[in-house]
Amino acid sequence: MASFPASFVRGGTSNGLIIDCAALPQDQAEWQPVLSSAMGSPDPYGRQLNGMGSGISSTSKICVISESNRDDADVDYTFVQVGIKGGDLDMAGNCGNMSSAVGPVAWDQGLANGIRKGDEMTVRMFNVNTSKIVHSTFSINAKDSKYEPCGEYSIDGVPGNGSRITLSFQDPAGSKTGKALPTGNTIDTLDFLPDGTKIQASLVDVANPGVFVRAQDLDIPGDITPDILGADSKIMARLEEVRRAGAQLMGLDPNVQSVPKTVLVSKTEGENSEMNIVCRALSMQQPHKAVPLTLALNLGTACKMPGTIPATVAIGVDGKDSVVVAHASGKVEVGSVVKDGNVKSVLLHRTARVLMKGEVFYTLEHSD
């Protein structure tokens, strides 16, 4: 069997492979049979037992990295979402969780320079999917200046503590559509069913495109668990229709599953709650166990955009630099810098750890 070297990593609440681009075919069109097989797809059983994936969208991910030739970046990276049952490669959007591991891995592998301040290193990353710059700041140890994963910072959805990684997404608006509000409206009406059913949605593109709808408008409890949501085939089918209708209005291909993603929003339980807004997110037609980080960034920014559904639902965000988003596994705090109505940057904190390095084997028996 053929193989390639890779790192198996946890980034935030996701895990997957990080691969040096030099280890893959030069022609990106030839990546599909290699990467899908490595992750254990296609798998009609949906478990990916024959590869590195584990049957859910947040663990069927890959980042391909290379030294950057850009003046404003140290490393380039392409995020790849591998379809579990079909084995298709979706490279339409970025992943904030996996992005948190790219800087440390690229630095340790000598693929990226950086700016050092004391015991911290900042690596400038260019995300090929969205053509956006992300600054990754992480701890390094004094002994060998390698990434230091140990620390006291914790994130909901991941047991234990680690060192804090700060991701700052530069000029994040219009990642796929060119505008924060692709339609120019803070709220659009989606007309998505043959019977003429309509629903309001805010279509926002910051870090990654999102379709934000009120959970109550679909008669869905705001605090519904991912398992219960995923088990209701009628609701899931309705949410996919919402996503496709939103994609069309945003000028995106509805057949691309990774963007936009659908996010259900609802109010917190009280004005004294430490949370500002509650969300349930879907990714690749699956309820997310937490929330995709690029969607959390999008949601946090939308909460500060007057007139959007998130802004009308959120509680207690006026005058604050950050928004606390409650998700199915806990909470995440995201910050944004908005000047004169323009989104300059958004940031969040994560942890990451390299779990294993070695050779990943694959077979081309499924290729056409």
More confident residue, 80 or 345: 80
**In the prediction, which pLDDT does 273 show?**
75
Rg of the chain (C-alpha set): 20
**In the prediction, which pLDDT does 356 show?**
98
Calculate the CA dihedral of residues 307, 312, 313, 318 and round it to 10 degrees: 100
Residue 117 CA, chain-centre distance (Å), reads 28
**In the prediction, which pLDDT does 366 show?**
47
Please tell me the distance from the alpha carbon of residue 273 to that of residue 340, in angstroms, as a whole number.
Answer: 29
**In the prediction, which pLDDT does 271 show?**
56
More confident residue, 144 or 368: 144
Section 140-159 average pLDDT: 95
Least confident of 22-36, 77-91, 137-151, 261-275: 261-275
Dihedral-angle region of residue 284 (phi above 0 means left; psi in -120 to 50 means alpha; beta otherwise): left
Dihedral-angle region of residue 157 (phi above 0 means left; psi in -120 to 50 means alpha; beta otherwise): left
Section 307-323 average pLDDT: 92
Question: Above 80 in pLDDT, residue 111?
Answer: yes
Give strand pairing partners of 15: 10
Calculate the CA dihedral of residues 176, 178, 183, 187 and round it to 10 degrees: 70
Helices (H), 232-306: 233-250, 293-302
More confident residue, 346 or 321: 346
Consecutive H or E run containing 148: none
Q: What is the pLDDT of residues 226-251, one digit of tens each?
A: 999 999 999 999 999 999 999 999 99
Domains and CATH numbers, the chain: 2-164+352-362 (3.10.310.10), 188-336 (3.10.310.10)
Lookup: tokens for 75: 């490393």
**In the prediction, which pLDDT does 193 show?**
62
Q: How does residue 225 score in pLDDT terms, banded at 50, 70 and 90?
A: very high
**CA-angle at 30, arms to 26 and 31, nearest 5°:** 90
**In the prediction, which pLDDT does 177 show?**
95
Question: Above 60 in pLDDT, residue 116?
Answer: yes
Please tell me the distance from the alpha carbon of residue 113 to that of residue 166, in angstroms, as a whole number.
Answer: 17
Q: How does residue 368 score in pLDDT terms, banded at 50, 70 and 90?
A: very low
**In the prediction, which pLDDT does 224 show?**
96
Section 169-188 average pLDDT: 95
**In the prediction, which pLDDT does 167 show?**
96
Question: Above 60 in pLDDT, residue 80?
Answer: yes
**In the prediction, which pLDDT does 191 show?**
86
Please tell me the distance from the alpha carbon of residue 91 to that of residue 62, in angstroms, as a whole number.
Answer: 10
Give the β-pairing of 165-170 and 198-206: unpaired
Please tell me the distance from the alpha carbon of residue 247 to that of residue 227, in angstroms, as a whole number.
Answer: 25
Please tell me the distance from the alpha carbon of residue 181 to that of residue 209, in angstroms, as a whole number.
Answer: 10
**In the prediction, which pLDDT does 367 show?**
43
Q: What is the pLDDT of residues 1-58, one digit of tens each?
A: 899 999 999 999 999 999 999 999 999 999 999 999 999 999 999 999 999 999 999 9
Contacts of residue 21, defined as CB under 8 A and 6 or more positions apart, other chains included, come to: 64, 65, 66, 76, 78
Q: Half-sphere exposure of 146 toward its Cβ, with a 13 Å CA cutoff? A: 9
What share of the chain in percent tops pLDDT 90? Answer: 86
Residue 259 near residue 92 (C-beta atoms within 8 A): yes
What share of the chain in percent tops pLDDT 70? Answer: 97
**In the prediction, which pLDDT does 262 show?**
96
Q: What is the pLDDT of residues 261-306, one digit of tens each?
A: 999 999 997 655 789 999 999 988 899 998 988 999 999 999 999 9
Please tell me the distance from the alpha carbon of residue 75 to that of residue 79, in angstroms, as a whole number.
Answer: 13
**In the prediction, which pLDDT does 284 show?**
83
**In the prediction, which pLDDT does 320 show?**
85
E strands present in 73-153: 75-82, 89-90, 115-117, 120-127, 132-139
Q: Which of 210, 169, 136 minimizes the C-alpha distance to 346?
A: 169
* Average pLDDT value over all residues in the chain: 93
